[in-house]
Structure 1
Amino acid sequence: MTTTDPADALRLRFSGEVLGPAQPGYDAARQVFNAMIDRRPAVIARCATTADVVAAVEFARERGLAIAVRCGGHSVAGLSTCDDGVLVDLSGLKSITIDPAARTARAGGGVLWGEFDAATQAHGLHAPGGRVTTTGLGGFTTGGGYGWTSCKHGLACDNLLSAEVVLADGSVVRASEQQHADLFWGIRGGGGNFGVITEFEFRLHPLGPTVLAGLTMFPIERAPQVLRGWRDWADSAPDELATACVVLTAPPEPFVPPQLHGKPVLGIAALYVGPPDHGAEVVRPLTQLDPVVDHLAPMPYTAFQAALDPLAPWGMRSYWRGEYMRELSDTAIDTFLAHAVGLTALGAPLSQMVIFRIGQGVATVPDEATAFSHRDAGYLFHPISVWAEPGDDERMIAGNRAFAAAMRPFSTGASYLNFTPEAGRVRDAYGAEKYARLMALKDRYDPANLFRLNQNIRPSRPATEAALA
């Protein structure tokens, strides 16, 4: 008797768990962070080893099935799942090995940033990582990876020393500055276009376990004045200062004055990337802006890394943007506040309208050193719309897009692909010269575009033509 379940053929050469639509646990395994994404893979390959990843890639290639790769499942665009293809789930690749003397860490492709931070902080070390603990290493790092400490230590991809990569032909290579240097250049900012990364090796930096960090909060009526003061402070601050501003709905927490509960407020977050006692003078200008909530204090680095988790729960509907700005002018501030307050008033209390101060440590890395681009930007505009009901999709997405359109005159025209939900912005993210170099890499490592469920860099020839060559 023959079977029609395609998963059976994969199970014969697989040590992890293979789920088809009829298996228990399939529906839970296909869920991703953004509840707007509801897709049904033909096969979910829950890999336990690099050999499992190889088997899943070969299985998909042999049958002409699309591949989606999932680590943390946080892709707002839904690129970590698929319909009718193979979902390569890396969540079983959880190994973490720290070398405190060399200040390096090796981590499996399924490790989440909260897990990585806990392991490295046990040695007083860290690498710039995701600001939400359930974010996976993979998509974050290969897309660039802005973390709080990027102001001092650069992007996550700037701290990548090597990576184990499963290529489209099923071979496994180690990419670094010494081996497969062209591939190493491409995976640092080029996303998942060239293979599946099953292990990362990061450079680590001393920090913590205690840092000076926290959140301040201001009534929205004072926001125009406060934001101008914040900008002037941030622009002149040392590289050790990480900071961002956010318009959000004040939560009904004990530390928030009752008169602000449920109302739009301006929040300003800060972290000093160094010994806490060295940071007091650096953050003093923020406290002198007279916040009504001042939670700047020594705290565990892992606590600050987890501070945004309550604002980013699984199972909510999400739409984000990531747009670069070289500077934050007075007119940009006024435009930002006018639209941010309106968007937070749409009845979605978890929405946050963010501007991150970047540049600094990111800009010190030469632009040509990695595929990642636009290192000269001073700020990143990041409106995050979060809501619960499907009936609100149209108005929430339309409001976010209108906000981005209003801010466009102040942008560089480029986008940060990790925060970009739509296709069509890929060339903008790299520019013509880098995009051509990335296309040549695609031709070499994935000419049939097997890895196309990503912010896709298309090979120079159609997939059918490449497959026949």
Structure 2
Amino acid sequence: MRSVNYRGLTGKVVTKNSEEYNASIICWNRAIEKYPLVIVYCFNEDDVINTIKWARENNIEIRVRSGAHSYEGYSTGNDVAIIDVSNLNKIYINEDKLIAKIGGGVRNREAYEVFGSMGYAFPGGGCPTVGVPGLILGGGWGYSSRFLGLASDSLLEAEIIDYKGDKLIVNKEENSELFWALMGSGGCNFGVITSMTIKIKEKANMGTLIYINYPSITKEDNIEIVIRLQELYKVLDRKMNLKTAIYNSREKGRGVKITGLFYGNSEDAKEILKPLLDITNNIEITIEDKSILECNRWIQDSHPDYEKYKSTGRFINRDYIKEEIEELINIIDNPAKGYDYTAITFYGAGGAIRDVDKLDSAYYYRDANFIMGIQSVWEMDKYAEENKEWVKENFKTLKSLTNGSFVNFPIIGLENYEEEYYGENIKRLREIKAKYDPYNVFTYPQVIKSKDEI
């Protein structure tokens, strides 16, 4: 075993000999089991800088962690140094300038509580413990995306520690090409984000929570839901967004559930959703007026504390015919052995997402109608490999029906992953990588390669 001197590290340093080590390596996806050399909980920029310099001097790979939500565990690794920024979680709001500065460790729930308590909408994600900077780096889908834009579209400035341990201010005027890259490049490709400044959206006190469940659904009704959903999104009010899951639950059986948020009242929401409410009488409907904060709390609380899962996502750019929808349903009707829950999900897109040109930020797939997700969740470890293989195998079908992969829903083993995640923007991203991280100090299995490595 390699002998390492940890002198020079600051913050809270957890090594393999520390009592807290086992608790400190846990990811939100409990299927990820990696054993880093050291975890450094950073409380300020100096802690981040010292860890970068220490790791370089000792020739140790760096990973950066906030919410520990990377689908494939890219924020951890075996024998790496983890820079954990979760304690950089302050939020400063300037109502006069309509801007907010958030620390590199702020998570969705914390942001929703602060913004919501002041009556402001926040373009965050659905899961409460996802780190907001990580969300922004990958573009950042959420229930408000059609109305407020992607999370990354709110970015005004970032403070980032680079490979030398220098602090960079990144905005439209200063390090502008890196600013472009941070809006959709995903992961930790260029440095460690210690803070981000975002523009505050308009006041939005009240809205409508949407939850529709079709339990024990027939295949014909399921097909009809997807057909009508596709038509609805062609005219859908951008103040509404929906996540539609074709699911198979070991406990609850086969069904379809729709979760959504509308920046408007419940009566208008019911009118908009009429095409989805008369397909079958076997339906559970909750369409309620609530404060935007209460809506987001409900959505956040609907997520489990953690899971063991394999999941990924790709982009839908066209309507599916009946036979293609049936093919997707057949996947869910034949889950992996030992599964607990599985789903193919349509994450609504369009609206304000399309207001930005796909070359104006690193997030390329702005023309998509939906993001399609696939997941399999299990509880017993002995079924882990079967569930993972189930996702990998059925991913082939999804790939044939979609165009490009979502970098915030990554999947290991993806061929030509740079082109799949970034489309035409990959050439520019490689040039930026070469400039801002020429020695590939920030790396992980699907890191952006510099133009010199190709």
Aligned equivalents of 1:349, 1:306: Cα separation in 2:
25
> Does 2:236 align with 1:237?
yes
Structure 1 segment 183-198 matched on structure 2, within 5 A: 183-191=178-186, 192-198=188-194
Q: CA deviation at 1:310?
A: 6.1
The Cα offsets for residues 395-445 of structure 1, whole Å up to 9 and x where unpaired, read as 212222232222333212x100111121542222222x4212111111111
> Does 2:73 align with 1:78?
yes
Distance 1:315 1:225, change over 3 A: closer
Alignment correspondent of 1:429: 421
Distance 1:63 1:274, change over 3 A: farther
Q: Is the 8 A contact 1:448 1:459 kept in 2?
A: no
Alignment correspondent of 1:299: 290
Aligned equivalents of 1:142, 1:213: Cα separation in 2:
27
1:326 to 317, 335, 345: 317
Alignment correspondent of 1:338: 330
Q: Which is further off, 289-298 or 193-202? A: 289-298
Aligned equivalents of 2:298, 2:411: Cα separation in 1:
24
Distance 1:276 1:119, change over 3 A: farther
Alignment correspondent of 1:466: none
Aligned equivalents of 2:394, 2:304: Cα separation in 1:
23
> Does 2:378 align with 1:379?
no
Aligned equivalents of 2:285, 2:337: Cα separation in 1:
27
Alignment correspondent of 2:8: 10
Aligned equivalents of 1:391, 1:133: Cα separation in 2:
29
Letter in 1 for 2:141: Y
Aligned equivalents of 2:203, 2:211: Cα separation in 1:
19
Q: Which is further off, 364-373 or 311-320? A: 311-320
1:271 to 249, 261, 264: 261
> Does 2:101 align with 1:106?
yes
> Does 2:423 align with 1:440?
no
The Cα offsets for residues 238-280 of structure 1, whole Å up to 9 and x where unpaired, read as 21220121122469xxxxxxxxx62111112222134556544
Please give the secondary structure, in 1, of the residue aligned with 2:242. Answer: strand
Structure 2: gaps (5+ residues): none
Alignment correspondent of 2:443: 452
Aligned equivalents of 1:41, 1:356: Cα separation in 2:
33
Distance 1:108 1:124, change over 3 A: same
Letter in 1 for 2:61: A
Distance 1:140 1:62, change over 3 A: same
Alignment correspondent of 2:120: 125
Q: Is the 8 A contact 1:48 1:90 kept in 2?
A: yes
Please give the secondary structure, in 2, of the residue aligned with 1:441. Answer: helix
Q: CA deviation at 1:89?
A: 0.3
Distance 1:426 1:184, change over 3 A: same
Distance 1:307 1:246, change over 3 A: farther
1:362 to 339, 353, 370: 353
Structure 1: gaps (5+ residues): 252-260, 464-469
Please give the secondary structure, in 2, of the residue aligned with 1:416. Answer: coil
Q: Is the 8 A contact 1:103 1:125 kept in 2?
A: no
Alignment correspondent of 2:143: 148
Letter in 2 for 1:23: S
1:206 to 183, 202, 205: 202
The Cα offsets for residues 326-365 of structure 1, whole Å up to 9 and x where unpaired, read as 123123322221212323x755334332111212211110
Please give the secondary structure, in 2, of the residue aligned with 1:91. Answer: coil
Q: CA deviation at 1:284?
A: 3.6
Aligned equivalents of 1:177, 1:346: Cα separation in 2:
50
Aligned equivalents of 1:43, 1:396: Cα separation in 2:
30
Letter in 1 for 2:120: L
- Count of equivalent residues: 445
Letter in 1 for 2:332: A
Distance 1:240 1:454, change over 3 A: farther
TM-score by length of 2: 0.92
Alignment correspondent of 1:227: 226
Letter in 1 for 2:190: F
RMSD: 2.3
Alignment correspondent of 2:162: 167
The Cα offsets for residues 102-152 of structure 1, whole Å up to 9 and x where unpaired, read as 332111011110101100001111231111111111221101111111112
Distance 1:361 1:398, change over 3 A: same
Aligned equivalents of 1:211, 1:311: Cα separation in 2:
18
Distance 1:357 1:39, change over 3 A: same
Q: Is the 8 A contact 1:127 1:159 kept in 2?
A: no
Please give the secondary structure, in 2, of the residue aligned with 1:28. Answer: helix
> Does 2:342 align with 1:351?
yes
The Cα offsets for residues 263-305 of structure 1, whole Å up to 9 and x where unpaired, read as 1111122221345565443234333445610011113434443
TM-score by length of 1: 0.89
Q: Is the 8 A contact 1:246 1:354 kept in 2?
A: yes
Aligned equivalents of 1:102, 1:181: Cα separation in 2:
21
Please give the secondary structure, in 1, of the residue aligned with 2:435. Answer: helix
Alignment correspondent of 2:402: 411
Please give the secondary structure, in 2, of the residue aligned with 1:336. Answer: helix
Q: CA deviation at 1:184?
A: 0.2
Aligned equivalents of 1:209, 1:184: Cα separation in 2:
31
Q: Is the 8 A contact 1:208 1:275 kept in 2?
A: no
Distance 1:205 1:332, change over 3 A: farther
> Does 2:178 align with 1:179?
no
Distance 1:207 1:339, change over 3 A: farther
Q: Is the 8 A contact 1:146 1:156 kept in 2?
A: yes
Q: Which is further off, 99-108 or 156-165? A: 99-108
Aligned equivalents of 2:312, 2:150: Cα separation in 1:
19
Distance 1:450 1:172, change over 3 A: same
Q: CA deviation at 1:101?
A: 3.3
Q: Is the 8 A contact 2:180 2:360 kept in 1?
A: yes
Structure 1 segment 42-53 matched on structure 2, within 5 A: 42-53=37-48
Aligned equivalents of 1:177, 1:200: Cα separation in 2:
13
Q: CA deviation at 1:4?
A: 4.8
Q: Which is further off, 93-102 or 168-177? A: 93-102
